[in-house]
Structure 1
């Protein structure tokens, strides 16, 4: 028992004993916190009040209040952009085939030496423009002139011998007729004359060849064009057949393209081809199918097709890459839809047609594809002025409400 706690030790609980020991040591005991019990009391009080409100007061109040109005869920509306729909109208349908290839001059020639001689002069270089008849190179003609003179001399000498042999033959023939000479003499005279005549013919041919070689001592342009290759220089000795120049005519080009063999029945000479050439952007060049190879390329099912292309303004160059389309077939005033617009179910092909603000299923009968498979011709089911869903929107269904954006 102590002064701070009048209770005897045997009557104190653990908390009181601990407090008495703290006082005995001179420590100030902690005051007991009473607010948690107050908080617990208030929570019980509030819970009881809520129970009373819920069970007693509120039902009476709700019975007097009117019932709330429940709204029905609103129907969803699908918005479609202008590019996702299309209004049916007659149009020109075309079936085309893509063609690609490199430009090649329609006319080019490789000039070679026709004589064996030394080149004295070469007057053109690569890229030079030439006109028909322009002299491109000259050969040394001294040796050629000597060869011509020798051939002419030999022929003249043989010609004199032929004249003498002809006189001898005529005289022998007269003697044989008068029986003053043996017939064998006439045969010998005839044989000698024929041999000399043959020799003269060969020598006259040699003269012609020598003259031709002399005439070919200069090389001229066979047509208007441009020098694309020069393979000899002045001072060189070249043999007959040696390459000298390559001349190309840039006024017209040819594009060697290929087409599937299956499309060959639809390709005809004279068909027009619209081409674009690298370096000229979207500028279109008009071409025409000029020739069709009758045999496909070995190891493939591709048929060479040759397209003529005019170059009157001289802008095109050999080796440029060209691409374009050849028109295989066309149909005017046909009804068609994008291929993405055609759907299929158990009942067949159909499209989603816009009827007011609702999508409806419209059965269609299609015939063939056009525009390289981008559009399909419709035979029945649609009329001019109908509006359909043109885009591939698989989530759309018949019966849905739609709204067109921008209207």
Structure 2
């Protein structure tokens, strides 16, 4: 009996053992959560850099191969005939406008100039004679007019002298025309004499010599070929269905084969379509920026260049910086900042626009998004926007 009771009492005691260890764990967990919440509430704002969502044109491009072309290039020809006395340039020489390329024998031209000068002197002397005749005739006319009231006056003589004045004046006008003609002939002779020195019409480089010292050249014969390599444009044959994205003033990105990049501005679209390729030539004005001084003299006519031609007319899109876009739990999100608090926003992005993405859905122009410091952000925490962002 006593034994049985002791066993039962023992079972009863084990079943009602105090539960204070579990309660203590719960209390400690609650205190830890309270402390964590208090610390979170007093957390220092996280430093972040932000960037504004903006609206900008989106242009998709395709590469088109073009080439550098000289605005001035071609043959330099003789303007008068004669043997070449001296050649002053070699292939590869860089010359400036007005520099002498070659000199022709000028003895004939000097003789023609002297002959024209003599003709001018003769015409001027003839004019002086005619003017003297006019003065003499007018003097005689005045003398006869003074005799009108005397018996010595002769009307016939008066009429003859008056006619002589008219003839003398006509002869003077003819002499003046002769002087003008002689002066023009002298000017032509001087021009031809100047043309015995063949001069560069523009700055450039001699690419070919087409004659030699001692050779006789006729008027219009080519002596050298020149290229103005400092006034190059870019020409590209653009498919006609890509032309809507090109208007005069449109700026494109360009690149040379050696990696040098530049900006190309549309200057003109040539209204002449190739029926085989369905392309039209487009001329661009290149701008090499800071690299222009370093590549001066290194560019060449017909050098290859690649242009990024737009597929069509640009369209306005809302864009966000690429650094703002992160992936979490399979979603594409960005953190926006409003009133010092960060909040996450799901977004749908589209085409790339340089270092930005088109935003199809989720953001509006003007929203501030975190681009640096967003890796550990969580919605609702305070943030501090750093200066310079």
Q: TM-score, normalised by structure 2?
A: 0.58
The DSSP-based 3-state class of the residue aligned with 1:212 is helix
Maintained 8 Å contact 1:252/1:308: no
Matched, 1:245 2:221: no
Paired residue for 1:286?
Answer: 262
Paired residue for 1:84?
Answer: none
Maintained 8 Å contact 1:335/1:378: no
Paired residue for 2:184?
Answer: 205
CA offset at residue 201 of structure 1?
A: 1.0
Paired residue for 2:78?
Answer: 113
Paired residue for 2:301?
Answer: 318
The DSSP-based 3-state class of the residue aligned with 1:286 is strand
Gaps of 5+ in 1: 1-89, 337-352, 356-365, 385-407
Deviations 1:303-334 (A, max 9, x none): 32212235542222212222120456374526
CA–CA separation in structure 2 for the residues paired with 1:240 and 1:233? 16
CA offset at residue 273 of structure 1?
A: 2.9
2:360 aligned to which of 372, 379, 382: 379
Distance 1:171 1:97, change over 3 A: farther
2:112 aligned to which of 147, 161, 179: 147
CA–CA separation in structure 1 for the residues paired with 2:243 and 2:75? 33
Paired residue for 2:284?
Answer: 307
**147-156 vs 225-234, which deviates more?**
225-234
1:131 aligned to which of 92, 96, 104: 96
CA offset at residue 270 of structure 1?
A: 3.7
CA offset at residue 301 of structure 1?
A: 4.8
CA–CA separation in structure 2 for the residues paired with 1:369 and 1:261? 24
Maintained 8 Å contact 1:261/1:296: no
The structure showing larger relative contact order (alpha-carbon pairs under 8 Å, at least 6 residues apart) is: 2
Paired residue for 2:34?
Answer: none
CA–CA separation in structure 1 for the residues paired with 2:161 and 2:99? 64
CA offset at residue 218 of structure 1?
A: 1.3
Maintained 8 Å contact 2:66/2:307: no
Distance 1:325 1:109, change over 3 A: same
**255-264 vs 118-127, which deviates more?**
255-264
Deviations 1:61-105 (A, max 9, x none): xxxxxxxxxxxxxxxxxxxxxxxxxxxxx9995422433222212
Q: TM-score, normalised by structure 1?
A: 0.56
CA offset at residue 184 of structure 1?
A: 2.8
Paired residue for 2:65?
Answer: 100
Distance 1:167 1:275, change over 3 A: same
CA–CA separation in structure 2 for the residues paired with 1:295 and 1:154? 53
The DSSP-based 3-state class of the residue aligned with 1:151 is helix
Maintained 8 Å contact 2:350/2:360: no
CA offset at residue 293 of structure 1?
A: 2.2
Paired residue for 2:151?
Answer: none
Maintained 8 Å contact 2:246/2:266: no
The DSSP-based 3-state class of the residue aligned with 1:165 is helix
Maintained 8 Å contact 1:335/1:377: no
Maintained 8 Å contact 2:116/2:186: yes
CA–CA separation in structure 2 for the residues paired with 1:224 and 1:325? 31
CA–CA separation in structure 2 for the residues paired with 1:203 and 1:290? 52
2:164 aligned to which of 185, 201, 211: 185
2:199 aligned to which of 210, 220, 223: 220
Distance 1:265 1:184, change over 3 A: same
The DSSP-based 3-state class of the residue aligned with 2:172 is helix
Deviations 1:330-380 (A, max 9, x none): 7452699xxxxxxxxxxxxxxxx958xxxxxxxxxx999778xxxx96735
Q: State the aligned residue count.
A: 267
CA–CA separation in structure 1 for the residues paired with 2:262 and 2:123? 64
Paired residue for 2:214?
Answer: 235
Paired residue for 2:152?
Answer: none
CA offset at residue 170 of structure 1?
A: 2.2
Alignment root-mean-square deviation, CA: 3.8
CA offset at residue 290 of structure 1?
A: 4.1
Distance 1:196 1:253, change over 3 A: same
The DSSP-based 3-state class of the residue aligned with 2:228 is strand
Gaps of 5+ in 2: 1-52, 146-157, 323-328, 332-347, 364-368, 370-389
CA–CA separation in structure 1 for the residues paired with 2:231 and 2:180? 46
Paired residue for 1:175?
Answer: 140
Maintained 8 Å contact 1:108/1:249: yes
